Amino acid sequence: MITPAAIVAAASSAALVILGLALILTVWRVVAGPTLPDRILALDMLTGIAIGFIAVIAVKTGFSLYID
């Protein structure tokens, strides 16, 4: 039987992989964006991805100080 801790560990690992892929694609959009608004929107997206990383790491480690 799968324990809840194993489910959380697997889900948080998958979330970190997805966020990492999103980070790489967003950095590419910042570097190669065809227009300035594309680059600005990508920079804003980087902020959201960073918040996602902080939240997933807080859940994965159980260190609730990261969550406001």
Report pTM.
0.87
- Angle in degrees, 0-180, between the axes of helices 4-32 and 36-61, rounded to the nearest 10: 160
Selection from 44, 42, 47, 49 nearest residue 16 by Cα: 49
Band of pLDDT at residue 12, cut at 50, 70 and 90: very high
Residues 28-54: pLDDT tens digits? 999 998 999 999 999 999 999 999 999
Among positive and negative, which fits the CA dihedral 63, 27, 11, 68? positive
> DSSP 3-state assignment of 19?
helix
pLDDT (0 to 100) of residue 1: 86
Domain ranges of the chain: 22-68
